[in-house]
A and B are shown apart, each in its own frame.
Chain A
């Protein structure tokens, strides 16, 4: 088995070719260069020509270097020993702990049979009204945070991770700044959650191919824990870096790009990862929260665009707030029917009014006369932004609903809210003198 080849035929970008036989598609090899050893994956077979993608990159590889095929695809060790540990994209320890080799599992496995999925039903409480009330997060949901770089998305991820009641947190970092890596580590440690966390971190200075492995390795581990009955939260930051790695590799491979240089299969590549989010009928679950930074704050950019088509909504973080427009939880209706009877109506009603407020702002900025109604909307908008949207607000859903009614009653007559009469009768706060 494990034949060794010592003649590399070609090196282009991160891809090398060797003449070999008996090699399987997707198999791993080890390339030994004078800078050390690196793993490589078979990405193309053409008669006896085998193309391999080298994890550490093509830089410094010599045509005389050794390539040893391992006879198996990419594997990762799976056990409770992973908890509290930090690895890189190839599964090599980044902390001082020992390398793990027992109970190796494959990564990038087949998808779950849709017939065995269940309809998500458990709300994940975050204490953030813009989420709990307006775009409820649901266990097994896959949801990205859309934002421009510079926004506190990693802080938001960490905050949700700490509040959500999950058994295990898997953090997959892609192109993560070292500071951000340390931030996560500190935040999880301070919150006492580090011992239930596993980190697979690719930093901005690591080889690009390893970036590609991070989601698969994180999700493979998460899937095993979920099958053992654990509720797992997977944090992936930043999926735009992952997509850019795909782009870089596709271009060096001379693939025809479809849209702004990204490969035509970007959608399938992202979907293959995000669809790992699942709630097993007879076991645990995987919830995925990701970060997608939007170049130029443009949601039509191929990465956020393809992501939005795949994920079950998105939180749009802008100016340090979760914007009601552009944010969506597609699973909210699975749970917000069983919280409180006024939940859905407050959710819709307040957003419609906030939209009207935005129109009024526009009118005002153009110097138009403000009507009575405009004055009410202006007051409403201000309260809404301060009491609901501000990320420092940390209250349970029920308190947020009560607050919603208070804001409405402070600004409007009941009939102006567009809410149904039954609800108005039941919830409209009676003014006490």
Chain B
């Protein structure tokens, strides 16, 4: 294939216009030669012999007439063993390796191999000559950390193939030909352990998509119990700055019960990624006993890195997620923040002089957001196994107002909404997920009717609280006041959770059920409290004990001691339970 060439005719910010001779395709990658460097770019508009390119680098120094080389390839990632534990930029450049070559700063025009070339992988074949295979079928496996990484027929291989040859068990690097496949038309193609896949195309090599019904446990009480996430589902975390979006995602990235976590740090602070990449190698994943970094991939395109690559980075992340899903893994993709990605689209749309929609976002914003979240899903692979990609994205609405285009477009497509409120974060009520405004369409680890029962207390408590602001404590009945205190207790000791406490930061479903049951004995109790001062004092004492309990090691002697203290204190004032509460408590035994 002859490559198309062009020359620069205009520069406007990170958009470059070039005149071309020959064929070009939409979203094709091109390199602009400027000041001795090659700057990567993507075709985003074609008009006659003029194309417009979004450049993934700073464009300073480009000259009219500079040469442009078109590659004929769409923007793609490299898939193969060795992705886990990597820290990539939005275009899959390994950042630590870039640092080794060019020092402290991200000099433009440096593109390195995403996968290590010299690593020898311990390959075991899974097919034999004569076997019939199709795309995404397993040719063999290699161990990657504690995972069995499948070496698959590249996803772009359409049609049926016969295995002509396959390498015996042994050590090979990613570039070595491990199999030869013969197509229907008799041509033979070599296959190595790695291949390319265009990031903006969903990987659809599965037999069916399933409904996300299995809870994805993140060990945060308010999420697992009240607003659960499902494997293969989607959720979003909108919130004003400082409300706790990033901390919530960081905690989730550590504690989520999934095989693999992909973190897309999209247009936010570099420092936050640094925390993750320095801490994860030191933290142990209780599921595997190995470092958390071994199950994690970080895609890092932070706010001061070039804007066009920010747009690419979320696609890079989701493509890697889909790749591991093809191996039957549960993958969680956390994107922080999808608003920055939307803003990157807005900047480019402005340069293209497209007709702007609301807040100058492009008219296609909604469909692009929907298309991204659609790439989540739990699927049945052709082998019969299941794999899932779950997507959780933060949203950073301008002015913290959820009535803005990105939040609204996202809410239309996700399965759960964890809305963070400034009111709660300012009162240091973390995680600041608003318990009355958030919702989830998924089932969690505690049965829905039981959760609803407890949630009613939050609603009524808030109503009484509102009313009290108008009529004062003196105008509130003792009965209402107790409901108010019950809701406040549930909020303080169950919804709120201390992310920086070694015990409280991660609470498994067993402990959640246990705690929930104890709380039900208080929420559902008819209480003998003589006046408001008495009620307040009693509830504060309880709250204190529950907070101590939250900090105690599960089932330690201290834990049991505090628990006994709670039971004793509760028993002193309880005149029996409501019928519904009794039923729910039994169900939780």
Which A residues are within 8 Å of any B CB, using their own CB? 21-26, 44-48, 73, 108-120, 140, 227, 255-259, 264-265, 267-268, 271-272, 275-276, 280, 299-302, 305-306, 308-310, 312-314, 325-326, 328, 330-331, 333, 337, 344, 348, 351-352, 355, 362-363, 366, 368-369, 371-373, 415-416, 418, 420-421
**Residue of B8, B10, B273, B540 touching A415 (CB-CB under 8 A):** B540
- Asked whether B473 lies within 8 Å of A275 as measured between CB atoms, the reply is no
- What 5 A-B pairs are tightest by C-beta distance, nearest first? A300-B399, A368-B472, A26-B60, A271-B303, A275-B304
**Is B130's beta carbon under 8 Å from chain A?**
no
Number of CB contacts from chain A to chain B under 8 A: 208
- Asked whether B271 lies within 8 Å of A21 as measured between CB atoms, the reply is no
Stretch at the interface among B71-79, B102-110, B121-129, B508-516: B102-110
**Residue of B9, B300, B343, B428 touching A46 (CB-CB under 8 A):** B9
Which chain B positions have C-beta within 8 A of A309? 241, 268, 396
**Is B340's beta carbon under 8 Å from chain A?**
yes
Return B264 CB to nearest CB of chain A, in Å: 13
Return B109 CB to nearest CB of chain A, in Å: 11
- Asked whether A369 lies within 8 Å of B472 as measured between CB atoms, the reply is yes
Which chain B positions have C-beta within 8 A of A314? 242
**Residue of B13, B271, B274, B359 touching A258 (CB-CB under 8 A):** B359
Which chain B positions have C-beta within 8 A of A108? 60
Return A18 CB to nearest CB of chain B, in Å: 13
Which chain A positions have C-beta within 8 A of B544? 415, 418, 421
CB interface residues, B 327-371, toward A, < 8 Å: 340, 343, 346-347, 350, 356, 359-361
- Asked whether B400 lies within 8 Å of A300 as measured between CB atoms, the reply is yes
Bound together, the chains give a CA A372 to CA B544 distance in angstroms of 20
The answer to whether A25 and B61 touch (CB under 8 A), given A256-B350, A271-B304, A333-B500, is yes
**Residue of B64, B240, B277 touching A115 (CB-CB under 8 A):** B277
**Is B477's beta carbon under 8 Å from chain A?**
no
- Asked whether A111 lies within 8 Å of B270 as measured between CB atoms, the reply is yes
Bound together, the chains give a CA A326 to CA B241 distance in angstroms of 10
- Asked whether B300 lies within 8 Å of A114 as measured between CB atoms, the reply is yes
Return B413 CB to nearest CB of chain A, in Å: 23
Q: Chain B: which residue is nearest A273 at the CB level?
A: B304
- Asked whether A22 lies within 8 Å of B500 as measured between CB atoms, the reply is no
Which chain B positions have C-beta within 8 A of A328? 242
Which chain B positions have C-beta within 8 A of A258? 346, 359-361
- Asked whether A111 lies within 8 Å of B304 as measured between CB atoms, the reply is yes
- Asked whether B472 lies within 8 Å of A366 as measured between CB atoms, the reply is yes
Interface string of B56-83 (1 = CB under 8 A from A): 0011111111000000000000000000
Return A271 CB to nearest CB of chain B, in Å: 3
**Is B474's beta carbon under 8 Å from chain A?**
yes
- Asked whether A110 lies within 8 Å of B347 as measured between CB atoms, the reply is no
Return A116 CB to nearest CB of chain B, in Å: 5
Q: Chain A: which residue is nearest B471 at the CB level?
A: A368
Return B242 CB to nearest CB of chain A, in Å: 5
- Asked whether A73 lies within 8 Å of B95 as measured between CB atoms, the reply is no
Which chain A positions have C-beta within 8 A of B533? 371-373
Which chain B positions have C-beta within 8 A of A271? 267, 303-304
Return A53 CB to nearest CB of chain B, in Å: 13
